[in-house]
Amino acid sequence: MRRDRIYCDSSVIGGYFDTEFQIDSRRLIEAVKKGKITMLVSEVVLQEILAAPKPVQDLLASIPPSSVERVSLDKEVIDLRNAYLSANPQKY
């Protein structure tokens, strides 16, 4: 059976400890820990987590490696980001 794959940025992981986002973030993280969902994270997210408070770092470390997939920053990803930013330059 194929698991859903969801890209998570550092705010999703940090949201686990933020009362405003806690309910949704905890629900998602618990599903990832149970192997129901694969969490996709980029190198950028991993670097941000390294600079985050220790509880946030520990949370990511507590997720089984089999439930995490790294997204590399290759040319295709950079091109997609650039196209997204170009589509609405005033917003960014």
- Any domain includes 29: yes
The total number of structural domains that make up the chain: 1
- Any domain includes 92: no
- State which amino acid sits at residue 33: K
- Among residues 92, 18, 7, the alpha carbon closest in space to that of 52 is found at 18
- Any domain includes 19: yes
pLDDT digits (tens, 9 = 90+) for 13-62: 999 999 999 999 999 999 999 999 999 999 889 999 999 999 999 999 99
Contact indicator for 43, 8 with CB cutoff of 8 Å: no
Domain that includes residue 14, residue range: 4-87
- Any domain includes 41: yes
- Any domain includes 13: yes
Q: Is residue 91 pLDDT above 70, yes or no?
A: no
